[in-house]
């Protein structure tokens, strides 16, 4: 697959990943953390705020691979 096509596919996948991840993380927080103390909210949103970076980094590194010749 040429790099330009990988970048297009990766960009669309990255946008979908962020939207779906945010919706899932917020839904879980709403369902599970309604009566939790403030520190639990802080820890949850800190962890989930950083956790999405792992699949995004893998996706971006795949997008930036050079073309095979």
55: CB partners within 8 A, 6+ apart: 17
- Establish how many alpha carbons lie within 13 A of residue 46's alpha carbon, considering only the half-sphere containing its beta carbon: 6
Can you tell me the mean pLDDT for 19-35?
A: 94
List, for residues 45-59, the tens digit of each pLDDT value.
999 999 999 999 999
Q: Looking at residue 67, what is its pLDDT?
A: 84
Q: Tell whether pTM > 0.75.
A: yes
Q: Looking at residue 66, what is its pLDDT?
A: 87
pLDDT reading at 69 higher than 80? no
Average pLDDT over the chain, rounded to whole?
93
Q: Looking at residue 1, what is its pLDDT?
A: 85
């Amino acid at each position: 697959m040429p790099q330009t096509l990988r970048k297009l596919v990766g960009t669309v996948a990255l946008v979908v990943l962020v939207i779906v991840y945010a919706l899932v993380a917020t839904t879980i927080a709403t369902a599970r953390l309604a009566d939790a103390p403030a520190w639990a909210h802080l820890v949850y949103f800190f962890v989930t705020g950083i956790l999405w970076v792992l699949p995004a980094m893998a996706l971006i590194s795949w997008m930036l691979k050079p073309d095979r010749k």
